[in-house]
Amino acid sequence: MENWITRGVAAICAGGSTALFWTFGVFLAVPWREGRLLSLSAVELQVLGISLVAGLVVAWGALHILAIADQAHRPRLYQTLRVALLVAAVLAINGGMSWAAARVTG
């Protein structure tokens, strides 16, 4: 398969995982702000868990698809893209929390 097609599919998956991490950040914002992360209700825990686990699974899939194209042929690019996906995930969670906090405070 052409490497650019494989990289394109991996980019779509990475974008989806970033969106799921952003959603995780949105749902995490209120319990975080109220300081009750250790006393979440069952519904809150389920919503947080689903968005986090789904984001991790999709990111894992994106990395494996990307490995098909680049791990053996261009290992430095593969390592760089792995780090970039990790940074994007952290920034997406932070962005979701910031967006939710801005909505609450007005």
pLDDT tens-digit readout, 29-53: 989 999 998 999 999 999 999 999 9
Continuous H helices in the chain: 3-34, 42-70, 75-105
pTM for the full predicted model: 0.90
Residues of the chain with pLDDT under 50: none
Per-residue model confidence (pLDDT) at position 44: 93
Per-residue model confidence (pLDDT) at position 103: 85
**Structure tokens given for 104:** 């609450």
